[in-house]
């Protein structure tokens, strides 16, 4: 390899966090044309994982390294959310082990690039684009990996995303277990999220489960400022109706909550 090409690849590797994907757009910003990227691929510096995406040759890249590229190179409003965010932040260690699904959330209308969608990450990627919050960025935070940052939901936002998926993708039982581990939620952020949440079901279910856990931070909330809607919400058939929040829950799962049979 000539000195110029060698210098460019060295500069590239310094700017490129190991364990992450490099997109064609980002490579171009680093002065690497498509023609030069193809040359680096033919000389075993780069390995193509899909259209417009590369990894360092011989390097194993996890889904987090792909998410980094989505967020930091393509500037897509996609984040790790729900149970995945809770796992990354250490709040789901008591759940069953094994290869779990990865939950990614994004603003409505945001599409995953095909290279991310079809690459064999070793986890099933579940991708959701709900209109869950009126303020899209509310409750997002960052986590430092070994040498790069990713954007993900805070615990306060993540549990609301979990409840959004009940009962079709997420079970009541596991949602309750996750809620039981959230002893230190920040009431000010919870309040903001509830006030900006567009799902009546999610808000009612959150309050029901939080009250069941009897957390001290509940006393610092102002439920009167939250729109809980009107009418009943039925989430399961042949369940029981919680009178306070007018939501149907599994018949035998919360016997201590005041309810009436449907």
Domains of the chain: which residue ranges? 3-56, 64-229, 231-262
Say if strands 259-261 and 240-242 run parallel, antiparallel, or are unpaired. Answer: antiparallel
As beta bridge partners, residue 151 has 142
Cis peptide before 189 (omega within 30 of 0): no
Distance between CA atoms of residues 195 and 259, nearest Å: 26
253: confidence class by pLDDT, cuts 50, 70, 90? low
Per-residue pLDDT tens digits for 6-61: 678 889 989 999 999 999 999 999 999 999 999 999 998 999 999 999 999 999 99
Greater confidence (58 vs 100) lies with 58
Of the candidate ranges 93-97, 136-140, 226-230, the one whose mean pLDDT is the lowest: 93-97
Per-residue pLDDT at 5: 57
Per-residue pLDDT tens digits for 163-184: 999 998 998 888 988 999 999 9
Rounded to 5 degrees, φ, ψ at 125 are: -95, 115
Class for domain 64-229, per CATH? alpha beta
Q: What is the dihedral of CA 71, 89, 175, 190, to 10 degrees?
A: -80
Per-residue pLDDT at 93: 67
Distance between CA atoms of residues 52 and 176, nearest Å: 41
Of the candidate ranges 4-8, 24-28, 191-195, 251-255, the one whose mean pLDDT is the lowest: 251-255
> What is the pLDDT of the chain when averaged over all its residues?
90
User: Taking each helix axis from N to C terminus, what angle separates 200-213 and 155-164, rounded to the nearest 10 degrees?
Assistant: 120
Per-residue pLDDT at 239: 81
Give yes or no for a contact between 224 and 248, defined as CB atoms under 8 angstroms apart. Answer: no
Strands (E) in 89-183, as ranges, are: 102-106, 125-128, 140-144, 149-153
261: confidence class by pLDDT, cuts 50, 70, 90? very low
């Amino acid at each position: 390899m000539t000195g110029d090409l060698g210098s460019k690849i060295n500069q590239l590797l310094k700017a490129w966090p190991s364990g992450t994907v490099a997109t064609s757009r980002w490579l171009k910003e680093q002065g690497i044309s498509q023609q030069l990227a193809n040359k680096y691929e033919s000389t075993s510096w780069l390995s193509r994982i899909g259209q417009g995406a590369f990894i360092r040759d011989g390097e194993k890249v996890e889904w987090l390294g792909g998410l980094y590229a989505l967020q930091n190179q393509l500037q897509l409003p996609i984040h790790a959310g729900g149970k995945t965010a809770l796992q990354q932040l250490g709040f789901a260690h008591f759940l069953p082990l094994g290869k779990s699904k990865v939950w990614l959330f994004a603003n409505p209308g945001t599409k995953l690039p095909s290279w991310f969608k079809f690459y064999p990450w070793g986890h099933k990627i579940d991708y959701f684009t709900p209109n869950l919050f009126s303020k899209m960025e509310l409750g997002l935070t960052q986590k430092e990996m070994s040498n790069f940052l990713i954007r993900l939901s805070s615990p306060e936002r993540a549990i609301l995303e979990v409840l959004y998926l009940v009962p079709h993708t997420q079970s009541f039982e596991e949602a309750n277990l996750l809620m039981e581990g959230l002893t230190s939620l920040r009431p000010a952020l919870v309040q903001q999220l509830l006030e900006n949440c567009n799902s009546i079901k999610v808000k009612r279910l959150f309050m029901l489960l939080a009250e069941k856990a009897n957390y001290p931070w509940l006393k610092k909330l102002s439920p009167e400022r939250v729109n809980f809607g009107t009418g009943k919400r039925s989430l399961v058939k042949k369940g029981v109706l919680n009178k306070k929040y007018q939501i149907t829950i599994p018949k035998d799962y919360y016997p201590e909550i005041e309810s009436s049979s449907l």
